[in-house]
Amino acid sequence: MKREPKNPIITADKVKPSQDFLKVDGIFNCGAAKLGEEYLLLCRVAESCAEKEEGFLCIPVYDESEDRLKKERIPVEELRREYDLSDSRMISSVNECGIKKIRYLTSISHLRLARSRDGISFEVEDHPALPLKGRYERWGMEDPRITYLEEEGRYCITYTAVSDLGAMPALLITKDFIEYERIGAIFPPENKDVVIFPRKIGGLYYAFHRPVPYEIGTPDIWVSSSPDLKHWGGHRHVSGVCTDSWENGRVGSGAPPIHTPEGWLHIYHGADHGSRYCLGTMLTDLENPGRVIARSTRPVLEPCEPYETEGFFGGVVFTCGCIVEGDKISVYYGAADDKIARAEMSLKELLTGLSWKEA
């Protein structure tokens, strides 16, 4: 992949906080779409409390009963005594069964639209695209992915609704990125990385998703189908972690699958046990999209540049969206969980030039 020389193309200093008491920690993982001639990115914006309070760590949490953000104040003493603070993204502890549980996220995310005429210089809007809503969004909305349903002229947006009840995929529908219809939860927790295919296959909608099994199994990519985008079934395992490689920790969908004559081309992410996130590719059957035809042996993008290795959470390249124009794929990706970067590649080269590992 060829990185954009102007990378990173969007940084946190270009983003206004959504409320006075917040500061923006990062703008990253974004869905991508074209609406007419305009390029749109629906970005994840992560915010935390701007002011420090002596003796406390303050975390913004959405209170659905009052429909507003509140500060949760945790005494620093308690934090040091009871929690693991080594991961910048979360505050965790080990429960009575010896299992690591995330008790708080260090920031809360919402979705924000950025617009561009050339796909490189983006203006970020001043306000969230839509407000947090309901019990399942107490800890925010994350990682939006946009699929344009070609035959219907509408955009499906999947995202992760996060709360103390778990990470749960939810769906929005829009035609204009002004009004959004909330469909709500489409898979129960814990599940993430849902991406919908751009056209129906055999009369059904399809989606890749990534459940997180608890006692048995690994975080792998699955496929499901639906007659109406709301009810999902036909669950089937697609592709798993590879024990001896860059993707030995977890894999999950990235950008919406791209229809090519050879099959569905899917850019996904894989992380190792040290949470270093890279991008890989796989090709699945056009008629049976859960059947993997081939999978790349090496990552197509790895965190190497300083803006990818250093940041809120370094060593991460993570995509939620790309735009295909003829033979050119523009991949938009979150770098180090705090900025947005872009890389492009030729569709043809990607299909022919890679060393495919037969699945």
Contacts with ligand MAN, residue ranges (CB under 6 A): 29, 89, 142-143, 192, 277, 313, 316, 318, 334, 337
Smallest distance from ligand MAN to CB 194, Å: 11
8 A C-beta contact, residue 231 and residue 224: no
Nearest to 130 by CA among 197, 199, 84, 176: 176
Q: What is the CA radius of gyration of the chain?
A: 19
Smallest distance from ligand MAN to CB 276, Å: 10
Q: What is the DSSP track for 278-326?
A: EEEEEEE-SSSTTSEEEEESS-SB-S-SHHHHSSTT-SBEEEEEEEEET
Smallest distance from ligand MAN to CB 151, Å: 30
Smallest distance from ligand MAN to CB 313, Å: 5
Looking at beta carbons only, is 191 or 225 nearer to ligand MAN? Answer: 191
Looking at beta carbons only, is 11 or 225 nearer to ligand MAN? Answer: 11
Smallest distance from ligand MAN to CB 285, Å: 27
Smallest distance from ligand MAN to CB 43, Å: 12
352 C-beta neighbours (distance < 10 Å), count: 10
Looking at beta carbons only, is 89 or 115 nearer to ligand MAN? Answer: 89
Looking at beta carbons only, is 7 or 225 nearer to ligand MAN? Answer: 7
Looking at beta carbons only, is 47 or 143 nearer to ligand MAN? Answer: 143
Looking at beta carbons only, is 44 or 295 nearer to ligand MAN? Answer: 44
Cα–Cα distance for residue pair 318/275, rounded to 1 Å: 11
8 A C-beta contact, residue 354 and residue 22: no
SS3 351: helix
8 A C-beta contact, residue 242 and residue 197: no
Q: Is 134 exposed, middle or buried (0-12, 13-18, 19+ CB in 10 A)?
A: middle
